[in-house]
Amino acid sequence: MTRTRHADDQRERERIVDELVTQGYDVVDDGGTATRMRKRDHGGLAAHLLVFIVFGWWTLGGANVIYTLWRRWRSVDEVVVKEV
């Protein structure tokens, strides 16, 4: 899912990018007037505990690795910050 945030000038775009970086987003591409950022999720502690309790005892934690990779691929939040 890609969202777009608009900024009036370069200074505001940099402020928005800094704000998103503090929220855990990574800069993927920084062009002249636009910056593409991405945040990936690895799943919460409660979900990992549930996966471990249900499957982990006989997969030796392999189910948690698969769950982490699935969440990392599945839950990508992308934001493009553009100057208007």
Q: Where are the domains of the chain?
A: 2-83
Starting at the earlier edge strand, list the strands of the sheet with 76-83: 2-7, 76-83, 34-40, 26-30
pLDDT in tens, the chain (84 residues): 789 999 999 999 999 999 999 999 999 999 889 999 999 888 888 988 888 888 877 888 888 888 888 888 877 889 999 998
d(CA 15, CA 56): 43
pTM: 0.70
| Residues in CB range of 84: below 8 A, 6 or more apart | 6, 7, 8
Q: At residue 73, what are phi and psi to the nearest 5 degrees?
A: -75, -40
